[in-house]
Structure 1
Amino acid sequence: MEWELMLDMDDNTFARHFRKRRAIRRARFEQLLGLLQEGGLHSKHSHRLPPLPVPKKVLMFLWFMANQNSYREISDKCNASKSGTHGAILQVLTIMSGIGTNFVSWPRGYEKRMSSCLPAHLWPQWSHWDNRWLPHQSPESTIRGRDYINRKSYYSVLLQGIVNDEGRFIDIFAGPPGRVHDLRGSTFYTEWQEKMVDYCLLGDSAYIGQAFPFIITPKRDNGALTNADHQQNFNISRGRVIVE
């Protein structure tokens, strides 16, 4: 498919091609394009190859994130060299990382209070999510590559994200090897007292038994839970629907 045709797609078709978790529609694409250009994204390219238009770079990046195709597959689809495809995706990703703090930021006092005023069935103030994802290449040949094998016996790194009541990410920490279970190396952990004050996070079962006094976790069902325990686990689960 020629990349110019992507720009002529209607909203629903465009969103279907660039959908991962949430659909990206044309208006959001135009907004992202403007932000990336302000952040320094340009059409200049190296290796004396024809420059890639800025919209094409953004489309290639979005396609890579939404579909997890290889650089070769994307280069074929977008009629670009493999090295050019890699360079374009890396350039967009670098700028995205630089402007990320404009969108992923810890809430201020009044924002915390607003988020804590949830309906009764979402009584906890915040939601927390711990997930795993598989890298594109196996790190087995690297130093301590086996550390990336998680408890399910495949290579991964850990991603920890915190969202507010609207599902907006307010903190992200990524990178520890999949074998690691303790996320006390995150920057959030070193600053939690200042950030949390009198509030708490909701955590999933991965945090049961870990020393995180600011995270409310469900109780492990060992067959001896009371009705109150089951109700609390149910409440936590409903509150975490936002982040799921």
Structure 2
Amino acid sequence: MLNWDLQSQARRQQLWQRDNESDEDMDTEFCQTAGPCALEILLVMGQVLAIERRFWAQETSTDWWNCTVLQVWDDSQWLRNFRMRKGTFVELCDLLSPALKCQNTKMRAALTVEKRAAIALWKLATPDSYRSVRNQFGVGRSTVGAAVMQVAKAITKLLLRKVVTLGNVQVIVDGFAAKGFPNCGGAIDGTHIPILALEHQGTCYINHKGYFSMVLQALVGHKGRFTNIHMGWPGRVHDARVFRNTTLFKRLQQGNYFPDQKITVEDVEMPVIILRDPAYPLMPWLMKPYTGSLDSSQELFNYRLSKCRMVVECAFGRLKARWRTLLTRSDLSQTNVPFVIAACCVLHNLCESKGETFMAG
């Protein structure tokens, strides 16, 4: 029995020493192979293959844009969805290319100028959500928002001063004269663009109709094109106050906006004037309708003034019907909303000058 116990104890001691030796070997081997120096040596020797880092991106399809819109759609489909024919769209992209052209990166290929502009026009023309536009064009949701602002800022920077301009004053004067009002250089009015409530100064943006808005004030020619725009004032501010704080008002006061072109009406010299509603003050160059009890001549004057002043109301109607983002409360920041408003005004003038048929819906 004693011999058996001694043998068993010796056997256990032998096994214990063997286990400890194997543990020490394993620890030593782990320490040696886990260090960065050993890994670098293995890489140099070719025993470990380097794996190229990959970036995850959700799979999307661009077949609709590349194969359907660009290849199949006719002008009527372009007009209905992008508010302009394909030829006008291509011209617009050429004008915006210096500001929108991007280079490819290692992560992904850059969007073309055409696709970025199409995304922006689609979003401005429809009430679709960012997710809907994203699925339509096969891009990321954040890409849609970025494209809208990139295009809006490019339009404002490159085209605003070229497209929204007074142009030939005599043509405008002759156009209003044909409508019944002499020596008129335009009609002015304001409209409200809905916005989301702001955190700190929200009450300043609640207009008289009870919703949050920014004011767009515009001078319009006889054909309904914007010749001067001013935007960004809170909706609560009266139109007359907005007008008094514009560069247009100062230039009209100084007499250097229109050419010095006067006519004589019943022994009274009349400069080139603009028309507006009763909310604005009466000035030598700013006509508003008569109020109160009117005789026949005053009623005729009001009728002709109202008929000519309707061009600005119609222009606002067509602007918002074309670019329906101006009808909804967008999630844009306070600083970005004016860029979008200005871009829509430029696009309105571009469509009108190109004779793009207005197709609502």
TM-score, length basis structure 2 = 0.58
Aligned residues: percent identity? Answer: 27
Uncovered stretches (5+) of structure 1, i.e. residues with no partner:
none
Describe the SS at the equivalent of 2:311.
coil
How far off is 1:48 after superposition?
4.1
Return closer, same or farther for 1:88/1:123 CA change in 2, 3 Å cut-off.
Answer: same
More helix by share: 2
How far off is 1:49 after superposition?
4.6
How far off is 1:231 after superposition?
1.4
Find the counterpart in structure 2 of residue 214 from structure 1.
285
Is 2:65 the counterpart of 1:3?
yes
| CA–CA separation in structure 1 for the residues paired with 2:301 and 2:203 | 38
CA contact (8 A) 1:219 1:233 kept: yes
Is 2:212 the counterpart of 1:149?
no
CA contact (8 A) 1:130 1:204 kept: no
Describe the SS at the equivalent of 1:195.
coil
Return closer, same or farther for 1:128/1:122 CA change in 2, 3 Å cut-off.
Answer: farther
Larger radius of gyration: 2
Find the counterpart in structure 1 of residue 193 from structure 2.
133
Return closer, same or farther for 1:122/1:112 CA change in 2, 3 Å cut-off.
Answer: same
| CA–CA separation in structure 2 for the residues paired with 1:13 and 1:33 | 18
Match among 128, 136, 140 for residue 77 of structure 1: 136
Higher RCO (Cα < 8 Å, 6 or more apart): 2
How far off is 1:151 after superposition?
0.4
How far off is 1:238 after superposition?
1.5
Counting only pairs closer than 5 Å after superposition, residues 1-244 of structure 1 correspond to structure 2 as 2-4=64-66, 5-7=68-70, 8-19=72-83, 24-37=84-97, 39-44=98-103, 48-99=107-158, 100-107=160-167, 111-118=168-175, 119-124=177-182, 125=184, 126-135=186-195, 137-139=196-198, 141=199, 143-181=200-238, 182-183=241-242, 184-192=244-252, 193-196=255-258, 197=260, 198-207=271-280, 210=281, 212-220=283-291, 222=292, 224-243=293-312, 244=314
| CA–CA separation in structure 2 for the residues paired with 1:47 and 1:206 | 58
| CA–CA separation in structure 1 for the residues paired with 2:215 and 2:132 | 27
CA contact (8 A) 2:103 2:110 kept: yes
- Per-residue CA deviations over 1:101-152 (Å, capped at 9, x if unaligned) read 1111233xxx2223212344332422223211112x322x1x3111000000
The letter of the residue matching 2:130 is Y
CA contact (8 A) 2:282 2:288 kept: no
Q: Alignment length, in residue pairs?
A: 229
CA contact (8 A) 1:130 1:206 kept: no
How far off is 1:77 after superposition?
1.9
| CA–CA separation in structure 2 for the residues paired with 1:206 and 1:3 | 47
| CA–CA separation in structure 2 for the residues paired with 1:36 and 1:195 | 29
Uncovered stretches (5+) of structure 2, i.e. residues with no partner:
1-62, 261-270, 315-361
